[in-house]
Amino acid sequence: MRRLLLVSMALASVVLSAACSGDDDGDSGAPPPATGCAADDRKDIYTAGLSKPAGALSVKLVDATPGPPIKGTNAMTIEVLDAGGQPVDGATVTVTPWMPDHAHGSAVKPVVTGLGGGKYTVEKVYLAMAGLWQIKIAVQPAGGGPLQEATFQFCLDG
Protein backbone atom coordinates (compact mmCIF):
# COMPACT_ATOMS: atom_id res chain seq x y z
CA MET A 1 0.00 0.00 0.00
CA ARG A 2 2.86 2.36 0.91
CA ARG A 3 4.62 1.58 -2.35
CA LEU A 4 1.43 2.32 -4.34
CA LEU A 5 1.13 5.68 -2.56
CA LEU A 6 4.76 6.55 -3.37
CA VAL A 7 4.34 5.57 -7.02
CA SER A 8 1.13 7.64 -7.24
CA MET A 9 2.85 10.68 -5.71
CA ALA A 10 5.80 10.37 -8.10
CA LEU A 11 3.47 10.11 -11.09
CA ALA A 12 1.49 13.15 -9.94
CA SER A 13 4.74 15.11 -9.60
CA VAL A 14 5.77 14.26 -13.17
CA VAL A 15 2.36 15.23 -14.56
CA LEU A 16 2.31 18.55 -12.68
CA SER A 17 5.86 19.37 -13.75
CA ALA A 18 4.99 18.78 -17.40
CA ALA A 19 1.84 20.88 -17.13
CA CYS A 20 3.73 23.86 -15.70
CA SER A 21 6.78 23.68 -17.96
CA GLY A 22 7.18 25.66 -21.14
CA ASP A 23 9.39 28.03 -23.03
CA ASP A 24 10.66 30.89 -20.92
CA ASP A 25 10.31 33.27 -23.86
CA GLY A 26 6.63 32.38 -24.28
CA ASP A 27 7.00 31.89 -28.04
CA SER A 28 6.25 28.23 -28.59
CA GLY A 29 4.63 28.88 -31.96
CA ALA A 30 1.34 27.49 -30.66
CA PRO A 31 -1.65 29.78 -30.16
CA PRO A 32 -2.41 30.80 -26.56
CA PRO A 33 -4.90 28.62 -24.71
CA ALA A 34 -8.54 29.57 -25.23
CA THR A 35 -10.27 31.48 -22.46
CA GLY A 36 -13.80 31.33 -23.81
CA CYS A 37 -13.71 34.95 -24.99
CA ALA A 38 -15.22 34.13 -28.37
CA ALA A 39 -18.37 32.82 -26.68
CA ASP A 40 -18.51 35.39 -23.85
CA ASP A 41 -21.52 37.59 -24.59
CA ARG A 42 -20.75 39.97 -21.70
CA LYS A 43 -17.80 41.61 -23.43
CA ASP A 44 -17.77 44.86 -25.36
CA ILE A 45 -16.25 44.79 -28.81
CA TYR A 46 -13.45 47.35 -28.77
CA THR A 47 -13.75 50.23 -31.21
CA ALA A 48 -12.25 53.68 -30.81
CA GLY A 49 -15.14 55.95 -29.84
CA LEU A 50 -17.08 53.30 -27.88
CA SER A 51 -19.34 55.16 -25.45
CA LYS A 52 -21.13 54.14 -22.22
CA PRO A 53 -23.71 55.96 -20.11
CA ALA A 54 -22.60 57.13 -16.66
CA GLY A 55 -25.77 58.41 -15.02
CA ALA A 56 -26.36 61.90 -16.42
CA LEU A 57 -22.93 61.77 -18.10
CA SER A 58 -21.38 59.62 -20.80
CA VAL A 59 -17.86 58.25 -21.04
CA LYS A 60 -16.31 57.70 -24.45
CA LEU A 61 -13.26 55.50 -24.99
CA VAL A 62 -11.47 57.74 -27.48
CA ASP A 63 -8.65 55.24 -28.01
CA ALA A 64 -6.61 52.57 -26.29
CA THR A 65 -2.96 51.61 -26.58
CA PRO A 66 -2.91 48.90 -27.61
CA GLY A 67 -6.39 48.65 -29.00
CA PRO A 68 -8.11 46.42 -28.15
CA PRO A 69 -6.69 46.07 -24.62
CA ILE A 70 -4.33 43.15 -23.99
CA LYS A 71 -2.98 41.16 -21.07
CA GLY A 72 -0.34 43.41 -19.52
CA THR A 73 -0.06 47.19 -19.34
CA ASN A 74 -2.50 49.33 -21.31
CA ALA A 75 -3.25 53.03 -21.68
CA MET A 76 -6.33 54.85 -22.92
CA THR A 77 -7.81 58.25 -23.55
CA ILE A 78 -11.38 58.84 -22.42
CA GLU A 79 -13.76 61.73 -22.88
CA VAL A 80 -16.45 62.69 -20.36
CA LEU A 81 -19.53 64.51 -21.69
CA ASP A 82 -22.58 65.92 -19.94
CA ALA A 83 -26.18 65.20 -20.97
CA GLY A 84 -26.00 68.00 -23.56
CA GLY A 85 -22.84 66.54 -25.13
CA GLN A 86 -20.56 69.20 -23.64
CA PRO A 87 -17.11 68.25 -22.29
CA VAL A 88 -16.77 67.86 -18.53
CA ASP A 89 -13.48 69.34 -17.33
CA GLY A 90 -11.96 69.27 -13.86
CA ALA A 91 -13.73 66.10 -12.77
CA THR A 92 -12.17 63.59 -10.44
CA VAL A 93 -11.91 60.43 -12.53
CA THR A 94 -11.05 57.08 -10.98
CA VAL A 95 -10.40 53.97 -13.06
CA THR A 96 -10.65 50.52 -11.48
CA PRO A 97 -9.84 47.32 -13.41
CA TRP A 98 -11.89 44.42 -12.01
CA MET A 99 -12.17 40.71 -12.89
CA PRO A 100 -15.76 39.78 -11.98
CA ASP A 101 -15.29 36.04 -12.50
CA HIS A 102 -12.33 35.97 -10.09
CA ALA A 103 -13.52 38.74 -7.72
CA HIS A 104 -10.24 40.66 -7.80
CA GLY A 105 -8.77 43.80 -9.23
CA SER A 106 -5.34 44.76 -10.44
CA ALA A 107 -2.20 45.13 -8.32
CA VAL A 108 -1.42 48.38 -10.18
CA LYS A 109 -3.44 51.56 -9.67
CA PRO A 110 -4.19 53.38 -12.95
CA VAL A 111 -3.03 57.00 -13.22
CA VAL A 112 -5.55 59.53 -14.62
CA THR A 113 -4.51 62.94 -15.96
CA GLY A 114 -6.87 65.65 -17.26
CA LEU A 115 -6.07 66.98 -20.73
CA GLY A 116 -8.82 69.59 -21.06
CA GLY A 117 -11.77 69.52 -23.44
CA GLY A 118 -13.34 66.75 -21.32
CA LYS A 119 -10.50 64.36 -22.16
CA TYR A 120 -8.42 62.36 -19.70
CA THR A 121 -5.48 60.00 -20.20
CA VAL A 122 -5.43 56.80 -18.21
CA GLU A 123 -2.06 55.10 -17.88
CA LYS A 124 -0.93 51.94 -16.10
CA VAL A 125 -4.11 49.97 -16.73
CA TYR A 126 -2.60 46.61 -15.80
CA LEU A 127 -4.63 43.54 -16.75
CA ALA A 128 -2.68 40.63 -15.28
CA MET A 129 -4.37 37.62 -16.81
CA ALA A 130 -6.66 36.30 -19.51
CA GLY A 131 -10.42 36.47 -19.01
CA LEU A 132 -13.15 39.08 -18.66
CA TRP A 133 -12.05 42.44 -17.25
CA GLN A 134 -14.30 45.33 -16.31
CA ILE A 135 -12.81 48.80 -16.62
CA LYS A 136 -14.90 50.82 -14.15
CA ILE A 137 -14.68 54.57 -14.66
CA ALA A 138 -16.09 56.68 -11.82
CA VAL A 139 -16.57 60.40 -12.44
CA GLN A 140 -17.10 63.03 -9.72
CA PRO A 141 -17.89 66.32 -11.48
CA ALA A 142 -16.03 69.42 -10.30
CA GLY A 143 -18.14 71.29 -7.78
CA GLY A 144 -19.95 68.18 -6.58
CA GLY A 145 -22.93 66.24 -7.74
CA PRO A 146 -23.49 62.52 -7.61
CA LEU A 147 -20.71 60.10 -8.48
CA GLN A 148 -21.35 58.63 -11.93
CA GLU A 149 -19.92 55.34 -13.21
CA ALA A 150 -19.49 53.71 -16.61
CA THR A 151 -18.19 50.19 -17.12
CA PHE A 152 -16.43 48.83 -20.19
CA GLN A 153 -15.92 45.05 -20.38
CA PHE A 154 -13.15 43.42 -22.39
CA CYS A 155 -12.26 39.76 -22.61
CA LEU A 156 -8.58 38.96 -23.04
CA ASP A 157 -7.30 35.78 -24.63
CA GLY A 158 -4.05 34.11 -23.75
pTM: 0.77
Q: What is the pLDDT of residues 74-126, one digit of tens each?
A: 999 999 999 999 999 999 999 999 999 999 999 999 999 999 999 999 999 99
Q: Which domains are assigned to the chain?
A: 33-156 (2.60.40.1930)
Asked if the model's pLDDT at residue 153 lies above 60, the reply is: yes
3 state SS for the chain: CHHHHHHHHHHHHHHHHHHHCCCCCCCCCCCCCCCCHHHCCCCCCCCCCEEEEECCEEEEEEEEECCCCCCEEEEEEEEEECCCCCECCCCEEEEEEEECCCCEECCCCCEEEEEECCEEEEEEEEECCCEEEEEEEEEECCCCCCCEEEEEEEEECC
More confident residue, 6 or 71: 71
Per-residue pLDDT band at 35 (split at 50, 70, 90): low
